[in-house]
Every structure is written in structure tokens, then in C-alpha cells.
Amino acid sequence: MEVLEHHEFRVTRNEDVEVDEDESENLIQALERELLRRRFGPPIRLEITDDMDPVTLELLITELGITRHEVFRLPAPLGLTGLFDIAGLNRPDLKYPPHLPVTARQLQPSEPTEEPDIFRSIRAGDVLVHHPYESFATSVQAFLEQAALDPKVLAIKQTLYRTSGDSPVIEALIRAAESGKSVLALVEIKARFDEQANISWARKLEKAGVHVVYGLVGLKTHCKLALVIRQEDDGTLGHYSHVGTGNYNPKTSRIYEDYGYFSADKQVGKELTRLFNELSGYAIEKKYKRMLVAPRYLRQGLLRHIAAEIRNHLAGKPARIRLKLNSLVDEIIIDALYRAGIAGVPVEIWVRGICALIPGEPGLSENITVKSVLGRYLEHSRVFWFDNAGEPTVYIGSADMMHRNLDRRIEALLQITDPVHIAQIDAQLTRGMSDDVQAWSLEPSGQWVRHSTTKDGNPLLDVQNETMTEIMTRKRGAAPR
């Protein structure tokens, strides 16, 4: 046999997994069957090199059963994953300088000889941590590990969407269950491409005595929540809450920018307890005071805040909307933002990925600015800011402005009330939307324009480096508690 030609091609298959949760007696078994089928899912795209001859292409089209509209000619190479090998070369001169996350000031012991006590720190006041600048290991991970070992802890409840392969988070839950604590883990086994890993974790947790639940039928649980219930020295029950914008994943926490919020506030603990009860099938919660929860209330709550900003602006009161998101495609939210912009409300949007809103369009969105920051770390946090007549209303949470997040997922936003934390978030949003930093701006044409240097050719500031420096400076100050 003589080889006359050779060509590269790549097939993309439909990776959607469909399980009828109402009809499935065993959800895990039904999902595992679907995962086996996914490997042989129908092709939805064929990528070929631009030099492939018509005969070979026709053969592929026929054998794969696709249409010509699903064929894309691209310059080689088709797969770029091999570039990771280049990035892995031992060339420190071509890489970012090493960065070691610091422990949040509020979580540091007041004396060098003291052992860290995360519950004592949270009792002293709410704690806002900013990953990866502030350590996941000495905050979230330490929170769960201390809860697992503390004999006064009675119960731990947690949502798990994605975690790492050797997760200390999972190990902490197992250790807690084995020591006799009541542990509830809500594992989202339908998390795309992590289904098999989450099934394995669910089985391991169940084997250790953890009460594993899979959420509500027809809805993915995407919120990032943890709740620890502890018997305090005075005999009362303390509720220690954590609400995050990112997954409980120690590995991605080193390269994803996210916020986490710890609180011993009774109202927050009460609302997380009610939400966990709802997710585990015990009750349906109708109202929340500090939280906006999808799919019932989150979009409605944001629309109310947007409408209030319009009223405040028309009344001559301070009004502004600032959003930090991964994606913005929900038409209802976009239309509300257009209405705010038309009314004269300044709207600032910091988005990492898809944005279907067009800024700067005369008569529609000239008061709306959209920017994106691409850097060393993946900007992953979600923040919702409303000036609220000079008394800012600020939320952080897991939800992007997409149909799936607002209509088909359990999402939770927590309102931040501590003035110090509001000021920190304000500074970060201001830094990211400044004209003095490296960023991409979205033009009315739909094109993204990169801004990396000043008019004189000097490099603009790096948002992430500036944040890193600011947090390191904050660390060197005296810890407030």
C-alpha cells in the first residue's frame, strides 16, 4: 500500500447528556448509561485542514453523516492542546514570577504563637476573601477541615459542583461523617464533563456515611454554599456560612479569580439552612432577605434593583449599575440595562466571556460601558452593584446572566452589608473599569479593542498585579482581629 496524501481532521460530537429524572428510578445508573452513549454521540462539526482534497472530504462527509454546513476549513494545526507542552518548558524567564497567596488578615491569629481558629475569626466579624490573591487553603479548606475535627461541630452542609481529583474538601467531609457528625453533601452529578468524577465522589461520600442528595428534579445546583452548625460554649447553636463565586476546588482556586464570604450572621445562617432544606426536599422557601435565589427570585430581584436605579436617577439621587460577570446574554436583563442607559443611568459591565449587549450605541446605550480583562488569572467572580441613592446594594454569587443560570439552575447571590467589604469591592470594580489599566473594550460595532499602552507607548497598569500588590500591602498592616 502506498500512502499518497495525509490530512488532519477533527470531529466534534454532541456532548449533551439527557436523563429523564422523573422516570429514572436510579439517577446515577441512568446517567452512567448516557455517559457511555456520549462517546458515540452524533457529529455536529467537522474541522479539516485547508489543503484537504475534495475526494477525501466527500468520504468523511458520507461516513460521518454530516452536512457541508457543518464542515470548517482551518489552517493547521487543528488541535492546540500540544502548546501546553511548550508552556511547560523550564523557562522561568518567559513566565510570570511566582505568586504565593496570603492568608486573609481577618483569619490570621492576633499573636504569632496562637493557633489559627477560623470560627473565632468569623465570630469577630464577616470575612471577605479574594482568591487567588488570598489563600483558599487557609480559608475555605481550613474552614472545612477545622469543622471536621472540632468536637463541638454538629453538622456540615455543602454543595459540590466541581472539585479536584485529590480533593481535601471531600476528605474533610468524609472525616466529619466518620467522626459522627451529620454531613449533607449536595453533589451535582450533571455538571458538564465532570459527571463521572462527581458520581465517583458521591459514592465515596455515601460509603463514609455522608447523606448525599442530588438536588431538585430538572434543575442543576450551581450555587457555592457551605454551612457549619456548632454548639457554642454558652449552649447556643452557631451557624457559620460560606458563600462563594467559585467552585470548592483547591486547584482552580490558584488560577481563578473569585470571592468567598464567611459569616456568623444569624440571618445568613437561617437563610442557608432554609435553602439546604429546600434542596434536600424538606421544605419550599418563599422569601429570602439577604439572598437572591434562582430560578424563582433572582432575575426578578435584579430587575427590581435596575428599575430602582432608574427612579433614583430621575429623582436626582445617586444612581449607577456595575456588573462583573462571566457572560451576559439574557434578553430580559439586557433590555432592562438598555432602559437604564436610555434613562441616563451609568452602567459599567466587566465581562469575561460572551456579551450580547451592544454598548455605546447612540439613543440606546451611550451610557453603557463594557470591558474585559484577560490576564494571568481567569476573572471568574460575579458581582452586582447598585448605587441605591448613595447606600450601595452589593451582591456576590455564582450566577451569570444566562437563561440556564436564571431559569434552569439553583443559583444564590448574597448581599454584602459590611461597609469595609463594600469598599473593597468598590475599589476592585473601579480598578477594573479604569482607563488606566490593560483591558479590552467592546465597541458599538461588536468588535473588541485592546488597550495595553498609553498614547506615549508606556504600558498601562495590570489589574491583577495591582490587586496583588494592594492585598500584600493590606496583609502587612495590623490584623484587625
How far apart (Å, rounded) are the C-alpha atoms in residues 457 and 463? 18
First and final C-alpha spacing in the chain:
77
- Tell me the DSSP string of 166-232: T-HHHHHHHHHHHTT-EEEEEE-TTSTT-HHHHHHHHHHHHHTT-EEE--STT-EE--EEEEEEEE-
Instruction: Look up 130 and say whether it is catalytic.
Output: no
Residues sharing a CB contact under 8 Å with residue 191, sequence separation 6 or more, in sequence order: 161, 162, 198, 220
Nearest one of 441, 442, 432 to 462, comparing CA atoms: 432
**In whole angstroms, what is the distance from residue 481 CA to residue 467 CA?**
22
How would DSSP label each residue in 121-181? HHHHS-EEEEETTB-SIIIIIHHHHHHHH-TTEEEEEEEES---TT-HHHHHHHHHHHTT-
Lateral strand order in the sheet of 43-49: 9-13, 43-49, 71-74
Q: What angle do CA 39, 42, 48 make, to 5 degrees?
A: 95
Is the four-CA dihedral 356, 360, 363, 367 of positive or negative sign? positive
**Catalytic annotation, pick one of 222, 242, 313, 380:** 222
Angstrom distance (rounded) from CA 96 to CA 426: 27
Q: Could you give the residue ranges of the DSSP H alpha helices within 295-449?
A: 298-314, 331-343, 403-407, 419-433
Indicate the residue type of 99: H
Q: Nearest CA to 319 among 299, 334, 339?
A: 339
* Cell (9 digits) for 401: 446572566
List 155's β-bridge partners, or say none.
Answer: 182, 229
How far apart CA 327 and CA 333 sit, in angstroms, is 12
Catalytic annotation, residues: 222
